[in-house]
């Protein structure tokens, strides 16, 4: 499979209202565009495995950065926190099975998505006032 797994994952995510209620369609591979309005998500395929027995069944590992202007322990306010973005992402990914995704290059099935590493709250040292929760998910995707 030579398909862009980032495009497949993004198409799945932008069609989930639990997530778009929090970030809209601000879901970007491989990183946030300059001056992105927060909250938002950036992600990229960082590696993974493929089955030598079923070649068109890659298992990409995807890094997600859930961005906001407030961190997990911030005092209560109307702002969305990075951890809230992560929780919405977790809710739409963890344990999914057999989700059909259509992109311009074809139809795919996300057979599964499993969290590899739980969300980690981080402060971005390069961009003041940007907080993120970092998480990793492993996917199994198949062309139909």
Lookup: tokens for 13: 């995510």
- H or E stretch at 64: strand 58-68
**Looking at residue 78, which CATH number applies to its domain?**
3.30.2000.30
Our count of domains for the chain comes to 1
One-character DSSP codes across 70-131: B-TTPPS-SSPBHHHHHHHHHHHHTT-EEEEEEETTEEEEEEEEEEEEEEEEEE-SSSTT-E
In tens, the pLDDT along 49-65 reads 666 666 666 788 999 99
**Structural domain containing residue 107:** 5-143
Short-list 126, 106, 92, CA closest to 14 = 92
**Percentage of residues in the chain having pLDDT higher than 90:** 59
- Mean pLDDT across the chain: 86
Least confident of 34-38, 66-70, 107-111: 66-70
Angle at 76 between CA 74 and CA 79, to 5 degrees: 80
**Which stretch of 22-31, 78-87, 107-116 has the lowest confidence by average pLDDT?**
78-87
Q: What is the structure's pLDDT at 111?
A: 93
State the pLDDT confidence band at 1, using cuts at 50, 70 and 90.
very low
Quick: pLDDT tens for 132-143.
Answer: 899 999 999 888
pTM over 0.75? The answer is yes
């Amino acid at each position: 499979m030579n398909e862009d797994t980032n495009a497949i994952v993004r198409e799945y995510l932008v069609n989930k209202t639990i997530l778009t209620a929090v970030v809209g369609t601000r879901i970007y591979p491989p990183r946030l565009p300059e001056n992105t309005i927060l909250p938002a998500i950036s992600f990229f395929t960082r590696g993974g495995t493929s089955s030598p027995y079923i070649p068109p069944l890659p298992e990409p590992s995807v890094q997600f950065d859930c961005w906001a202007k407030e961190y997990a322990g911030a005092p209560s306010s109307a702002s969305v926190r990075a951890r809230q973005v992560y929780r919405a992402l977790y809710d739409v990914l963890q344990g999914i099975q057999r989700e059909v995704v259509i992109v311009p290059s074809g139809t795919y099935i996300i057979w599964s998505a499993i969290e590899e590493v739980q969300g980690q709250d981080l402060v971005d040292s390069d961009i003041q006032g940007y907080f993120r929760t970092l998480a990793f998910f492993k996917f199994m995707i198949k062309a139909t």
